[in-house]
Structure 1
Amino acid sequence: MTQTQKHRWIVGQTRADREALHPAADAGQGIFVIDAHRNLRGPYTAAGELLRQLIPTVQKHWPELVERHVVEVLSFAPELRDVVQASRETLTSLAIPEERTRFYARVRTQRLTHGVIELLQKIAVPERMGRLQFVFENAGDCEHTDNEFFATILRRIHPAQIEVTLSSKPEMEWPMVREALDKYAERIEAPVIQRTAPSGADPLELAKRFVQSDGTSDVAEEIAAYESIADEQRQALHDQRAEELEALDQFSLTLGAIPWHRERGSSREAMLQGLKVPMDYCLNMGFYEACLDLGIRGRKFVDWSKENLEYMWAFMTKSTNSLAALGRTEEAEELYNWARENTDNPGALMQAAYATSMLHTRHHQVRNHDTARYWINQALELAANISEEKMRNFRTVFYNNGLALIEMHVGNHEEALRLVMEGYDRLVETHGLEQHKLHRSVLMNNKSHILSALKRYEEALEELNQVIEIDPNYPEYHFDRGNVYSKIGRLEEAIANYTRGIEISPPFPELHYNRASAYNRLGETEKAMADYSYLLEIEPTHIDGRLNRATLYLEAGDTEAARLDVLEGLALEPQHAQLLCTLGLIEMAEEQMEAAEKALRAALAADETLLEAYVNLSVLLFEKEDVHGSVEILTTAIGHHPQADVLYFNRAWAMQSLERFEEAVEDYTQALQAGSGDAQEIFYQRGACLMELGREEEAFADWKLHLADGESPYLDTIQQLAPALTHL
C-alpha cells in the first residue's frame, strides 16, 4: 500500500502527556478512544472493546455485515452474544471440555484479525458510518492478539478511510507493530507537561487509584503509595476490585483484570481458579500466547504435591499445548520431561507420553517416528490400566488415532486405515452417537485423508460428505473435499467447495490459493488473478502465491507487474529457485539476454535439479548461438531428469544444428520413448537426420508417420525428396 497520508503514532513517557494530543471520544463523529493495556481484558483488549462500542449500531442498521463476520466478532468480544446470535457453530466450538480433542491452528488469530478489518472497511464508507478514527492508548502494553491487529490494520487500511492512532511510550516492544508504524505512521512526540505532585494525599487512597486502574496507571505517586502500604491492605483492595469486576458479568474481564487482581488478593483458591478458567478458554480459542502466559503465572503458586497436582498438571499441559502450537516444541518436550521427573501419577504420565509422541511425529522440525512410536505405545499401555470402561475405551481410541498418524507418516497407510476404522466403531459401540461427536468427526476426516493417500478418492469423498453433513460449518472440511475433487480433475466441484469454505470462514489464505489454482487450470485466469491478489493482500509473504501471480502476469504480457511480484518474493527469499527462474523468463521476454542468463544460472545454483531453468537456459544459449553451451546444459539436465522428453528433444535439435546427426537421431528416439507430445515434429526431424546419414528407407518411414499425424509445414520438402510419400 503506497500512501502519502499516514496513520499516527503518539509517543510520550506518560499517559497524561500523550492524552493531551488525543481527540475527544465521540461515537457520533466516528471517533473512538480505547485503552489497549492487556491487564484489562487480555486477548483483544483493544479490538474487542472497539467492537463492543461499534457492533450494536452496526447490528441495528446493517445486520448482514455482522452475520458475515459473526465468528470473528464473537471471538474478539464474547459479551456481544447478548446482541449477536452465534450462527456458525462447529463441533469444535460446541465441544464440552471433556470432549475437546481438536484445537485451532496458530494462524487462526491472524485470520480473525483480517475478518474484523474487512468488517471495519465495510462500515467505514459514506453510505454507512463514514470515515472513522481509532485511538489506542497504552498500545505498547497490548496483548499478542492486539499486536497482530495493530500491525495488520496499519498495513491494510488507508488513513483516508480509517485513521489509526497508536499512543505509547517511545519504546515499542512489539517488532511487528514497530515495523508497521515505521512504514505507515507519522511519529508525533508528545510535549512533556509539568505537573505538581499532590501534597498530603492519603497513601491508601492513592494506592486504591492504582488498583482501580487494574495496574495500568503510570502515575508515580500512585505506584509508590501502592508499594508502600501493608500487604493486607493491598490484598483487601485487590479482593474488592475483583468482586466489583465479577459483578459486572463481562466474560472478557475474566481474561485480564480479574485474574490479575486474584493473583494479588487474599484467596489462594480464587487465584488458582482465576488463572485456570481463562487459561482453558484461551487454549480452546487458539489464543496460545495468552494461554502460555497464564500457565507460567499459575505454576508459580503450585508444586507437584498430591494436593496441588490437578492445578500443576493443568497449568503445565496447557502450556505445552500452546508451546507446540507456537512452534516452540523443544520447550514443550522439556516440560513433559520435567513432569516425568516429578510425578508418578498414571494419568499425567499417560497424557505426557501421548503428547511427547505427537511432538516427535507432527511438531518437531526434525521428526523421529520411531521415538514417536515408543511414546504412543507407552500411552496405550497406561490406557489399558484405566479401570472405568468408557474412559479406557475412549483413551485407547484416541491414542490409536495418534498411532495411525505415525503409520501414515512412515507409509503404512493400510494399517493407519485399520486403526482409524476400528477406533470409530469402538467409539460408537461404547459411547453411542451422542457422545464424542467431535472426535468421531476427526476420525472420519482422518479416514478420508488416508483414503486419499491410497488414491481411493471416491471413498474419501463419501467420508467427507458424511463429516460435512454432521459438521457443516467447519471450513477445513470443505477445503479437504475441494482438494480431493481437484486431485481427480473435477475442478468445478473443487471450486464450489473452496467457495463454500470461504463463505463460512474468517479469511483463510489456503482456500483462496487452491481456488486460484483450480481457476487457472480451467483457464479462468481473471478469477485466478483475483484470488491470488486477495491472498497477497492478507498474506503478502506467501511466496507461492506471489510466484503464481507473477506467472499469470507474464503469460498476459505484463512483464512490469510480473517483475514487481518476483522482486517482492526475492526480497523475502533471495535464493528461491522458481522465482529466479521466472525472473529469467521476464528478462527473456524483454530481450535482456545477459540478465536472463544470469537469473537462470542463479536459479540452477539455488536448485541444481530445476527442470524449467535448464530448459529455458538451453533455449537462451541456443538463441545466442552458443549451441555447444546449450548441449552441455541439456546433458547436465538429463542426468537429473532422465525421463524428461523435452530435454532429449531440445538436445536433439541442438545436435542436429551441429550436424551431429547420429546423436540427434538417438535423442529424438529417446524423446519419443519418453512420451513426447511433439511426435509429429520429431518424426520429421529424425527423418531429416536419417536422410543426412544416408538411411533413406528409415527416413521415409519416419516421414510417413509424420504425414499420417495431420497437416505438415514441411510438405514441400518431403515432396521434393520423397514424392511417392505425398501420393499415398
Structure 2
Amino acid sequence: MNTRLWRSGPDVTASEPADVTVSCHRRLRGPYSGTGSLMRALVPPVYERWPDLVGEHAIEILSVAPELKDRIGAARETLTSLAAPEEQTRIYAPVRTRRLAHGLVEFLAAYVALSGLGALRLAFSDVDEADHTDQEFLAILIQRTQRSPITVTVGTRGADLTDELASALGRYARPADVLAGGFAAGTARDQDQLLRAYIDSDGTSDNPHELDAYRAADPAVRAELHDERAAELVRDGDWSLRLGAVPYHLEHGRDPAEAGGDAFHEAVFYCARMGFWHAILDYSPRARAAVGPERAEPYWHFTGKMSTALAVLGRSKEAEHFYLEVRGRYTLPLAQTFTGYALAMLYTRLHPPELRDHHIAKAYVNNSVTLATLLPDAELRTFHTVFQRNGLALVEMHLGNLDESFRLVDEGLEQLDRELPAHRHLVHRSALIHNRARVLAALGRLPEALADFTGVIEIDPNYPDYYVDRAALLQKLGDSSAALADYDKAITLGPPFWEIHFNRADLRSLLGDTDGAIADLARVVELEPDQLDARINLIGLLLETGAAEAVDPLLQEGLRLAPGDARLILVRGQLAWESGRTDLARRDFDQALEVDPELVPALASRATLAVESGDFGSALSDLTRAVETDPDNCDLLYNRGYVHQAAERWAAAVADYTQALGLPDADVGELLRQRSVCHRELGDPASERADLDAARTASGQAVPAGAV
C-alpha cells in the first residue's frame, strides 16, 4: 500500500533525514506508541543536560513512556496515582490526554529553545493505524508548532484519521511525496522466514509476501511462534509493549483464554487507570472474544471497562446496552452491584439531558446499596456500601435533596473511619471529603465547605482539582488573594489545564488586573482555539484596552472555527462600525440577531445605529427586546429612556428612568437629571426641582458607559 506523507513546519528538503522517526502503529505499544517512542529517544539525553526541564514535564513523559521512570525518577504523586488497583475509585476525564499532549508539545519547544537546534525534524509513520492518543498529540503538535523550528512529517497508508488530525493536516501541513508500496525482491526467503518476519513485526508488516505466508501457515505453528515472540518481548522489551504487541501475540497464541485474557487484563486495567479510554475500546472486544462469556469473572470485567469507556466518551446508550448484558447474563453479586451503580450514573449525569431520569437512577443505586450490604467479606461490604451510598448522594443532590445528600456522605466517612484501617481506601476517603465540601457549599454552609476543601488538600496536596474548587469558594467568600494563590498553585501541579486559566482570568479581571486576565485568556486560546467564550472575552478586553490591532487575527480564526457564532459576528460588526462602515455593521448586527434573537449587545448596537439615522421606532423596538431579556440592566433602561426622550415620549422616558433608579448599579445623578428634563416638558415643575436637588446631592457620577 502506498504511503502518503504530510509535512508541517519550516521548509526542509525531502532529502534531510528526520532527527527521530517512530512508528505509531497501535499494535506495537497501544496508546502513545509513537509519542512514547519519541520520548524514549529524546528524554535520556535531554535529562543529562537539563534535568529540571524533564522534571517539569515528568507527569506527561511518564504517562506516555512509563519505562523512563528508571531514568528520570517518579513524577509528583497523588493519592490517585499511588492507589492500589483494587482501591482505585477515581477515573480521569477524556480531556486528560489533551493536557498530556499540550505538556509534551511544550517540552519539545523548550528543548529546542535550550539546545539551539536550527530545526528539530520528527517523522511519524503508520499514523492511520495509531491509537487516538497519538493522533490527538500529532494534531496538537502540528497546530502549536507553526511558528517554531519543529518540522513534523506524518505518514499514512489509509484514511483512518480523527477529524481533528485530518483538519490539522489540511490546514497546516502540505502534501509531500507519495511513497510506493512495492517491495524489492532482495534475498529470496522461504515460507518459514517470511512467516517469522511477519511475527517479528508484531503484526504490523504490510509486506504482502509475509502476510500471505502468515495466513498460509499451520495454525499450531503460528500460535507457537506468537507465544515465543510474546515471551521474548516480556523478557527483553520495554514494559509498554504489554499494551500492544504482547496481548496481540497472546490472543493469537496457544492459550488465548488464559494467557491472552491475563495480558488483556493488564492492558485494560492500566489504560482505565490512566484514562486512555479509546484504547479500551480496542482491547475489550478482543478480550471478550478471547475469554468468552463462559469465563464469567474476566468477561464481565472487560465488559464493564468497555462500557465505562463508552460512557465517558459520550456513547452512553451503547454503554447501557452492555451493562444490561452483564446484568442479564450473570448473578454474581459484585457484577450486579457494579452495573447497578454504573446505570445510575448514566441516568443521573452521563446520558444526554433528554434521557436522564434521576428516579430511575435512584432505583438502580438503591438496588446496589442493598446488594453491597449483603457481601460476605467485611471489608468489601463496608467499602462497597459506602461507595454505593456516595453514588446515591449524587442522585439525591440532583433531585434537590441536599440535606439527604450531605447525610449520606457524612455517614459514609464515619463508617469508613469506624470499620476500616486508616490506611485503606485513601482515594475514596478523599473523594468523600471532597464531595461533602461540595454539598456543604451547595447548602450555603461555606465556612464548613472551606474546612473540608482545606482538609482534602492536606491529605492529597498534589491534586490540582481541589485547589480549583477551593479557589471558587474563596472567591465567593471574598478572599480574592487566597483564591488567586490557589489558582496559581493548581497551575503548577500538572500538565496545561485551560479551565484554570479561564477561571483565573475572570478573577484577575474582577481585581482590575486586565493585563493578567488578557494573558490567561490568551493562554486558553493557545491551548484550545475552539474555546469561544475565552476568545470572545479576550477580544472584549483587548478592545477595552485599545489593542484593536490584536483583535482581527483572533476574530478571523474564531469565525473560521465557528462561522455562525452570533457573538463573533457582532464583534465583526462593531469593528466595522468603528471604522465608519455602517452598512457592513448593520448587516452583521442583523445576521447576529438572526442567529441569536436575544443577544442583548447586538440589540443595543443596532438600536444605536437606528438612533444615529433618526429611526427612533426601530431603536425602541430593539431596546424593548433587550430590556425584556435583561430587565435589571441599568444601561438598557437608561438608553431606552433616552430614546423615548429624543422622540418626545416624555412619560415613557420617566418610567424607564424611574425603573432604572431602583436598581443597585444605577447612575443616580445622571438619571435624575434626565428625568428632570422630562418632568419640565410634562409641565411638572415641582418634580423637576425635586430631581435636580436630588441630582446635586448625588453629583460626581459618570454617564453610564452604554448610553446612546
TM-score range, shorter chain: over 0.9
Once the two structures are overlaid, the 10-residue window that deviates more, 683-692 or 287-296, is 683-692
CA distance in 2, matches of 1:607, 1:187: 40
Provide Cα deviations, 1:65-94, integer angstroms capped at 9, x if missing partner: 011101001001000110112141111111
Stretch deviating more after TM superposition (617-626 or 470-479): 617-626
> 1:707 is matched with which residue?
696
Bigger radius of gyration, 1 or 2? 1
Aligned match for 1:234, one of 216, 222, 228 = 222
Cα displacement (A) at 1:394: 1.6
Aligned match of 1:52: 40
After TM superposition, give the deviation of residue 208 of structure 1 in Å.
0.6
Paired position in structure 1 for 2:637: 648
Give the secondary-structure state (helix, strand or coil) at the position aligned to 2:656: helix
- 1:472 partner SS: coil
**Does the Cα contact within 8 Å between 1:90 and 1:471 map onto a contact in 2?**
yes
Distance of 1:350 and 1:287 partners within structure 2: 24
Q: Does 1:253 align with 2:205?
A: no
Hey, what does 2:345 align to over in structure 1? 358
Q: Secondary structure at the match of 1:136?
A: strand
**In 2, Cα distance between equivalents of 1:189 and 1:142:** 21
Q: 1:132 to 1:566 in 2, by over 3 A?
A: closer
* Gap change, CA 1:196 and 1:322, over 3 Å in 2: closer
Letter in 2 for 1:453: A
Q: Residues 387, 579 of structure 1: CA spacing in aligned structure 2 closer, same or farther, 3 A cutoff?
A: same
Q: Do 1:214 and 1:257's aligned partners in 2 also have CA atoms closer than 8 Å?
A: yes
Distance 1:249 1:188 in 2: 34
Contact map agreement 2:183 2:207 (CA 8 A) in 1: no
**Whole-angstrom distance in 1 between the partners of 2:175 and 2:237:** 38
1:131 shift after superposition: 2.8
How far 1:603 moved relative to its partner?
Answer: 3.2
The Cα shift of 1:665 comes to: 1.7
Q: Residue in 2 aligned with 1:585?
A: 574
Quick one: which amino acid aligns to residue 99 of structure 1?
E
Q: 2:317 aligns with which of 323, 330, 339?
A: 330
Q: Identify the residue that residue 211 of structure 1 maps to in structure 2.
A: 199
Indicate whether 1:188 and 2:176 are aligned: yes
Of the three residues 287, 304, 307, the one matched with 1:320 is 307
Say whether the 8 Å CA contact 2:474–2:482 is kept in structure 1: yes
CA displacement 1:252-293 (0-9 Å, x = unmatched): 010011001001111231111011111000010011011121
Task: Give 2:313's aligned amino acid.
Answer: L
Rounded to whole Å, the distance in 1 between the matches of 2:333 and 2:77 is 35
Paired residues of 1:648 and 1:671 also in contact (CA < 8 A)? yes
Q: Which residue of 1 aligns with 2:3?
A: none
Q: Does 1:117 pair with 2:111?
A: no
Question: What is the distance in 2 between the residues matched to 1:713 and 1:193?
Answer: 74
For 1:101, the equivalent position in structure 2 comes to 89
CA distance in 1, matches of 2:408, 2:566: 40
Counterpart check, 1:133 vs 2:121? yes
Q: Letter of the 1:164 partner, please give it.
A: V
User: Would the aligned equivalents of 1:541 and 1:569 in 2 still touch at CA under 8 Å?
Assistant: yes
2:65 touches 2:240 (CA, 8 Å); kept in 1? yes
Query: Amino acid of the residue matched to residue 151 of structure 2?
Result: E
> 1:557/1:60 Cα in 2 relative to 1: closer, same or farther (>3 Å)?
same
**2:10–2:150 CA contact under 8 A, matched in 1:** no
Q: Quick one: distance in 2 between partners of 1:665 and 1:194?
A: 85
Which of 513, 523, 526 does residue 512 from structure 2 map onto? 523
What is the DSSP-based 3-state SS (H/G/I as helix, E as strand, rest coil) of the residue aligned with 1:659?
coil
Q: Secondary structure at 2:496's aligned position in 1?
A: coil
Show the 5 A alignment for 1:457-496.
Answer: 457-496=446-485
Shift of the 586–165 alpha-carbon distance from structure 1 to 2, 3 Å rule, reads same
**Residue 400 of structure 2 corresponds to which residue in structure 1?**
411
Q: Kindly state the Cα deviation for residue 640 of structure 1 after the two structures are TM-superposed.
A: 3.2
> Which deviates further from its counterpart, 181-190 or 416-425?
181-190
Q: 1:360 to 1:570 in 2, by over 3 A?
A: farther
Other-structure match for 1:539: 528
- In the TM superposition, 1:382-397 aligns within 5 A as 382-397=371-386
Give the direction of change, closer, same or farther, for the CA distance of 1:525–1:140 in structure 2 (3 Å limit).
Answer: same
* DSSP-derived class of the 2:72 partner: coil
1:90 counterpart (78, 86, 110): 78
> Matched residue of 1:133: which SS?
strand
The equivalent of 1:662 in structure 2 is 651
Q: In the alignment, is the contact (CA less than 8 A) between 1:276 and 1:294 conserved in 2?
A: no
Residue from 164, 168, 179 that aligns with 1:176: 164
Report how far residue 173 of structure 1 moved: 3.5
Map of 2:706 onto structure 1: none
**In the alignment, structure 1 residue 39 sits paired with structure 2 residue 27:** yes
2:685 corresponds, among 689, 693, 696, to: 696
Distance 1:9 1:103, change over 3 A: farther
Alignment partners' CA distance in 2, 1:238 and 1:577: 58
With normalisation by structure 1, the TM-score equals: 0.91
Find the residue that maps to 1:164 and give its secondary structure. Answer: strand
Deviation at 1:545, TM superposition (A): 1.0
Paired amino acid for 1:556: T
Partner-residue secondary structure (3-state), 1:643? coil
Q: Which residue, out of 299, 302, 310, partners 2:297?
A: 310
Q: How many positions carry a matched residue from both structures?
A: 695
The answer to whether residue 412 in structure 2 is matched with residue 423 in structure 1 is yes
Give the match for residue 631 of structure 1: 620
Residues 303-336 of structure 1 deviation map (CA, whole Å, 9 limit, x = unaligned): 333xx01110111000011111111111100101
- Counterpart-to-counterpart distance in 2, 1:187 and 1:180: 12
Cα pair 2:127 2:156 within 8 Å, conserved: yes
For 1:267-282, what aligned pairs fall within 5 Å after superposition? 267-268=255-256, 269-282=258-271
- Does structure 2 retain, via aligned residues, the 8 Å contact 1:401–1:420? yes
Q: Aligned pair in 2 of structure 1 residues 373, 194: CA closer, same or farther (>3 Å)?
A: closer
After superposition, the Cα gap between the structure-2 partners of 1:191 and 1:149, relative to the gap in structure 1 and judged at 3 Å, is closer
**Match of residue 335, structure 2, among 340, 345, 348:** 348
The one-letter code sitting in structure 2 at the alignment partner of 1:356 is L
2:155 is matched with 167
1:141-165 per-residue CA deviation (whole Å, 9 max, x = no partner) reads 2221111111111221248622222
Is the Cα–Cα contact under 8 Å of residues 559 and 589 in structure 1 kept in the other structure?
Answer: no
SS of aligned partner of 1:83: helix
Describe the shift of the 1:199–1:550 C-alpha distance in structure 2 as closer, same or farther (beyond 3 A). Answer: closer
Matched residues in 1 for 2:553 and 2:288: separation?
Answer: 50
1:9·1:165 contact (CA, 8 Å) conserved in 2? Answer: no
Normalization by structure 2: what TM-score? 0.93
